[in-house]
Structure 1
Amino acid sequence: MSDHIADSDAEQLRALGYTSNFKRSMSVTENFALGFTYLSPVVGVYTLFGLCLAAGGPPMFWAYLLVGLGQLLVCLIFGEVVSQFPISGGVYPWARRLVGKRWAWMVGWVYAWALVVTIAAVAVGAGPYMAAMLGFEPSNSTNIGIALVLTVIATVVNLSGTKVLARIAMFGFICELLGALVVGIYLLIFERHQPFSVLFNTFDIAIDGSYLPAFLTASLAGMFLYYGFEACGDVAEETPNASRSIPKAMRMTIYVGGVAAMFACLALILAVPDMSAVINGTDKDPVTTILNNAFGVTGSKVVMGIVMVSFISCVLSLQAAASRLLYSYARDEMIIGSSLLKKLSPTTHVPTTALLVCGVLPAIVICLGFVLQDAIATIVSFAAIGIYLAFQMIVSGALFARLRGWKPSGAFTLGRWGMLVNLGALAYGVLAIINMAWPRSPDAAWYVNYGMPLSTAIVIGLGLVYMVARKPYETGTAPAGDAWKLAGSKHAPKGAVGDAV
């Protein structure tokens, strides 16, 4: 049966114009674990809990549900696309087949920089938790040092091969899920200071007389959480029966990750000893307050250790996704240095040079924090909105292809619901991007208040200049813009693009 699946996978990939020397050693469960640790409910919830609770009060909990439903629509569209095009690199090859080479190049450019910045942001975000675990006062320098160490660790692990990556992702998933459940259950049973009705109590928070703007600000907690499912598709050529397995792993990432995040958030909200202190800014770090009250200094350090496992797993998964994107770019001759970036190691069967680049670039961003702290805050603000932009470029690309006659023909399709879900995913994504980019700090410097649209304009502007000047999309002969032509067809495009080993 496994030989039959392997032959079928190879034939499907050949029909799409590619051959591959990746090892298909990642099970569907391990593929899901990669997406889960990238999404990382513990990292997402713990990092933004205090800020979003202060901004919107306990009803911020419902943002996780609403954003999760919106991102599920996006996930379903991605599932249809990857099922028909299970090609390593995720959003770049999908965009190439749905729309064309220029669109694909820009999608890859935006997503690649978003991943680089996200790796740096998550690594730096681990600093305060490491300090709490080891018992020293965090500072900008220590946070940067810890971030660099995490980046090096992730690079070394990823260079060890897909199987090692899969096992550590699985370990991270188990630790994170069990940690979230154990800590959450303990808090609900022994440290509940708030009634369940507090989830509907706004504590009279209002902006210009309305609670809605405050809730929209608090909803950023969910928007910075619900991505990572796309990483399941980034390693499509390393997963057996990818056409069926990856859409399933993507949905599992949303379901399990979303429930885990909501449970962790619920437990923390109900364990807040003084809600007014959080909202008025007296308690600026409610997570530490809650854990110290519940577990004491020693117990809270153990919890912080679990949180650190989540951060390490998250950086590892992010880097794996970024390297496969870069490899996919290079295999289609779409980037400088393609001959090196598309090479797979003959022993570990991973893109060695691409992984090293995906370690060096985040490290450079991290090191900029030594001298340009304000600038780094602006750069990091691009992390989430860049990923959302890339997502919506795929969603809009899928809609474009549907209007030209594309009928998804993979193992997973939405059937007659496809168009409706596609429109819903696009509407959600556009509104989410507007909400994320909306300036909310009128008293801050203009480059901070408009950090997201500013950083987005810079990234897209530089990409357009480079694309027009160098025309990188003109190199390579891989198939492009053919999704609607392949609807229902099993004929292979002429030629195949192979790996360099």
Structure 2
Amino acid sequence: MSGSPAKRAAGVTDSDAEQLAALGYSSNFERSMSLWENFSLGFTYLSPVVGVYTLFGLCLAAGGPPMFWTYLLIGLGQMLVCLVFCEVVSQFPISGGVYPWARRLVGKRWAWMVGWVYAWALCTSIAGIAVGAAPYMAVMLGFEMHGNAAIGIALGLIALSTVLNLSGTKLLARVAMFGFLCELVGALLVGGYLLIFERHQPFSVLFNTFDIKIDGSYWPAFLAASLAGLFQYYGFEACGDVAEETPNPGKMIPKTMRMTIYIGGAAAMFACLALILSVPDIQRVIHGEDTDPVTTILANAFGPVGSRLVMAVVMVSFVSCVLSLQAAASRLLFAYARDEMIVGSKQLSRLNANHVPAVALVVAGVMPAAIVCLGLFMADAVATIVGFAAIGIYVSFQLIVIAALIARAKGWSPSGQFSLGKWGVPVNVAALVYGVAAIVNMVWPRTPDAPWYMNYSMILTTAVVLGAGLLYMLLAKPYDKGTAPAGDAHRISGRQRSGRATGALSEPA
């Protein structure tokens, strides 16, 4: 395309609008997200610092230093899921992510259930991350947690995220980019310093199980420690949630999704490696004598002032993570409402003067805040509800993987700018096998001495969410109200009419 940069950008925008119109939609979103800004949204949602620091002590105690390798193994498995998503979003770059993908691949009922599960998973994730930020805020500001301080901090964080998100896509993109830079630079600087000046363990410790055994075998302990990786590698789908705010999304978003996996995964592995090698006494962690090794390491390495500066970087990671999660939740609600699949569709599908779904954003703040406030009355119930966050994400992911297989069986051949070609079906099947195994590992009861409702909390909350959604869907039939296209992926020919002949191009995996 010749001409000035402004004319080229306008041409891309017009072409994107034509592609969206061919898919049955029009949009008033601003397509102002660059490739790196879109990637930053996924990266800060995945948030390697938040993921590693939050679960490091628990997983190191459960499986010892070899827990490091779970980041690599789970990353490879999630990359399979990501590649399936890349094919789908490339052909259907529609705001809302998993919901519109499920709608086009299978149909309205399947899509409604995917959106229902994913919405609750996002709301509980926001609540969990906001509450999890409280201890780091306390260390940063130098006060001891007591009473309901964690709830107050969490509510303040959600409120701040809502205000920032309401300011528009450009600010969202800039904050996500700032969060990405702070998190990446912080992870590299802190990790590098620890490896150079505070290393207490040899690299061989990564293969030392410290004689941890469950029923005479180490593998159950390793699988328990793999929760570190399982809770880390999601967020790449958020790149597709803002597809209508990104130029040339059919080409750009598959790239940013994959970047989220391998850049975020590499950052998480580096941070985990630095922490493991900096633990002064791993036996104390395994025996439960040091329950917060991250704080211990940072305090020993940087002292009171330095550790507070590190915690400031960690808090930026928490803020940008909540911001990205809320943005994803609001776009899902917007997509639901645009297709008249939810109560209050007229309000939820409305964009404000900043070209963002304001009511949907407020709802995506109020619902997590309500979950957080349950902690004033039922702390154990909140922990159980928040436990649904990760399993809900994995279930919704696998519903998309299954949907892609169903569509392929009906004759769907991905025709976006990203295609796996002949590898599409094998990767799709492998993603399903991995996903089912990951879900089984997550819900497997590992604390027989705990009350049954805690031991089976993930299964319980998943059954409640799925059961309630299915019952509401059957009784109210919300999926019957809209007329947007559905279940048509297999009927679309091998060429999308987007002005760029998108079906004629194929980007290697």
TM, length-normalised to structure 2: 0.96
- Which amino acid in structure 1 is aligned with residue 247 of structure 2? P
Corresponding position of 2:505: none
Q: Is the 8 A contact 1:34 1:232 kept in 2?
A: yes
Q: Is the 8 A contact 1:234 1:321 kept in 2?
A: yes
Structure-2 change in CA distance of 1:490 and 1:272 (3 Å): closer
> Within 5 A, what are the aligned runs for 1:6-25?
6-25=13-32
Q: For 1:32 and 1:79, how far apart are their aligned partners in 2? A: 13
Q: What SS is found at the alignment partner of 1:411?
A: coil
> Within 5 A, what are the aligned runs for 1:386-405?
386-405=392-411
2:114 paired with 1:113: no
Deviation digits for residues 285-327 of structure 1, max 9, x if unmatched? 1001100110011111110110000000000000000000000
After TM superposition, give the deviation of residue 491 of structure 1 in Å: 6.1
2:136 paired with 1:126: no
Q: Is the 8 A contact 2:191 2:275 kept in 1?
A: yes
Q: Is the 8 A contact 1:408 1:487 kept in 2?
A: no
Q: For 2:409 and 2:245, how far apart are their aligned partners in 1? A: 32
Q: CA RMSD in A?
A: 0.8
> Within 5 A, what are the aligned runs for 1:235-254?
235-254=242-261
Structure-2 change in CA distance of 1:198 and 1:390 (3 Å): same
Corresponding position of 1:496: none
2:440 paired with 1:434: yes
After TM superposition, give the deviation of residue 490 of structure 1 in Å: 3.6
Corresponding position of 2:484: 478
Q: For 2:259 and 2:146, how far apart are their aligned partners in 1? A: 37
Corresponding position of 1:172: 179
Q: For 2:392 and 2:493, how far apart are their aligned partners in 1? A: 30
Corresponding position of 1:152: 159
Q: For 2:102 and 2:147, how far apart are their aligned partners in 1? A: 39
2:89 paired with 1:96: no
Deviation digits for residues 152-197 of structure 1, max 9, x if unmatched? 0000000000000000000000000000000000000000000000
2:280 paired with 1:256: no
After TM superposition, give the deviation of residue 487 of structure 1 in Å: 3.3
- Which amino acid in structure 1 is aligned with residue 493 of structure 2? A
2:391 paired with 1:410: no
Deviation digits for residues 81-115 of structure 1, max 9, x if unmatched? 00000000000000000000000000000000000
2:346 paired with 1:339: yes
2:452 paired with 1:446: yes
Corresponding position of 1:62: 69
Stretches of structure 2 lacking an aligned partner (at least 5 in a row): 1-7, 499-509
264, 289, 308: which one aligns with 2:315: 308
Q: For 1:487 and 1:234, how far apart are their aligned partners in 2? A: 24
Q: For 2:430 and 2:474, how far apart are their aligned partners in 1? A: 33
- Which amino acid in structure 2 is aligned with residue 417 of structure 1? W
Q: For 1:490 and 1:354, how far apart are their aligned partners in 2? A: 30
After TM superposition, give the deviation of residue 332 of structure 1 in Å: 0.1
Corresponding position of 2:475: 469
Corresponding position of 2:431: 425
2:9 paired with 1:2: yes
Corresponding position of 1:296: 303
Q: What SS is found at the alignment partner of 2:490?
A: coil
Deviation digits for residues 407-428 of structure 1, max 9, x if unmatched? 0000001011000100110000
2:225 paired with 1:202: no
After TM superposition, give the deviation of residue 140 of structure 1 in Å: 5.2
Structure-2 change in CA distance of 1:140 and 1:78 (3 Å): farther
Corresponding position of 1:499: none
Q: Is the 8 A contact 2:65 2:208 kept in 1?
A: yes
Deviation digits for residues 347-378 of structure 1, max 9, x if unmatched? 20000100000010000000001110111111
Q: For 2:88 and 2:493, how far apart are their aligned partners in 1? A: 12
2:220 paired with 1:213: yes
Q: What SS is found at the alignment partner of 1:209?
A: coil
Q: For 1:261 and 1:364, how far apart are their aligned partners in 2? A: 31
> Within 5 A, what are the aligned runs for 1:367-386?
367-386=373-392
Q: For 2:10 and 2:120, how far apart are their aligned partners in 1? A: 38
Q: Is the 8 A contact 2:91 2:496 kept in 1?
A: no
- Which amino acid in structure 1 is aligned with residue 20 of structure 2? L
Q: For 2:146 and 2:382, how far apart are their aligned partners in 1? A: 15
Q: What SS is found at the alignment partner of 2:376?
A: coil
Q: For 1:335 and 1:472, how far apart are their aligned partners in 2? A: 6
> Within 5 A, what are the aligned runs for 1:341-356?
341-345=348-352, 347-356=353-362
After TM superposition, give the deviation of residue 441 of structure 1 in Å: 1.1
Q: Is the 8 A contact 1:140 1:370 kept in 2?
A: no
After TM superposition, give the deviation of residue 489 of structure 1 in Å: 4.2
Identical-residue share of aligned pairs (%): 72
Q: For 2:167 and 2:94, how far apart are their aligned partners in 1? A: 22
Q: Is the 8 A contact 2:415 2:496 kept in 1?
A: no
Q: What SS is found at the alignment partner of 2:28?
A: coil
After TM superposition, give the deviation of residue 135 of structure 1 in Å: 1.1
Q: What SS is found at the alignment partner of 1:65?
A: helix
- Which amino acid in structure 2 is aligned with residue 477 of structure 1? T
After TM superposition, give the deviation of residue 431 of structure 1 in Å: 0.3
After TM superposition, give the deviation of residue 52 of structure 1 in Å: 0.1
After TM superposition, give the deviation of residue 443 of structure 1 in Å: 1.1
Q: For 1:433 and 1:69, how far apart are their aligned partners in 2? A: 16
Q: For 1:486 and 1:22, how far apart are their aligned partners in 2? A: 25
Q: For 1:111 and 1:140, how far apart are their aligned partners in 2? A: 32
- Which amino acid in structure 2 is aligned with residue 475 of structure 1? K
2:43 paired with 1:36: yes
Corresponding position of 1:497: none
Q: For 2:382 and 2:10, how far apart are their aligned partners in 1? A: 49
Q: For 1:294 and 1:12, how far apart are their aligned partners in 2? A: 53
Q: For 1:139 and 1:237, how far apart are their aligned partners in 2? A: 44
Q: For 2:189 and 2:408, how far apart are their aligned partners in 1? A: 45
TM, length-normalised to structure 1: 0.97
After TM superposition, give the deviation of residue 139 of structure 1 in Å: 3.3
- Which amino acid in structure 2 is aligned with residue 264 of structure 1? A
